[in-house]
Amino acid sequence: MEKINLKGIFEFRPRYSETDQMGVVYYGNYATYFEVGRVELLRDLGMSYAEMEKSGTMLPVVHLDMDFKAGAKYDEELVLETSILEVPSRKISFYHTLKNKKGKTLVTGKVVLVFVDTKTFKTKQCPADFKTLLLKASSTQS
């Protein structure tokens, strides 16, 4: 598999509604944070989910893996790093690292999505224009 190195940074603070009674982010919300990281990384690269869907491609999640090191807290400043490390084929993998402002890793994860045709719902190869965009962006980020 061909390697690339694309990274996006998203900074935010958890809202009160995202925490449990202990003031710690409820574990299910990390998947939503990872989604925001993916969407913002793609937007920064020049491709939005909406554009991809208009051109006939959807990206459903087929695998989610998370490791919890420490809980994020309400209103804590957080930094989410989202990376793409391999050129996609039928699937694309996103790697996530959530840290606090002091640099302590709180949660890591990997999310795999598959390219699907919007009309047939069958898997397909990564669209050529998207692959070209990733390769071009990787050459400028490296």
Q: How many domains is the chain built from?
A: 1
Residue-level pLDDT at 101: 95
Q: Examine the residue annotation and report whether 129 is marked as an active-site residue of this protein.
A: no
Q: What is the CATH number of the domain that holds 29?
A: 3.10.129.10
Q: Which domain holds residue 110?
A: 3-141
Task: Provide the β-strand partners of residue 116.
Answer: 58, 123
Q: How far apart are the first and last CA of the chain?
A: 18
One of 20, 65, 75, 117 is an active-site residue; which one?
A: 20
Residue-level pLDDT at 139: 87
Residue-level pLDDT at 9: 97
Chunk the chain into consecutive blocks of 10 residues (it has 142) and report each block's average pLDDT, rounded to whole numbers.
92 97 95 97 93 96 98 97 97 98 97 98 97 92 66
CA–CA separation, 41 vs 20, rounded Å? 28
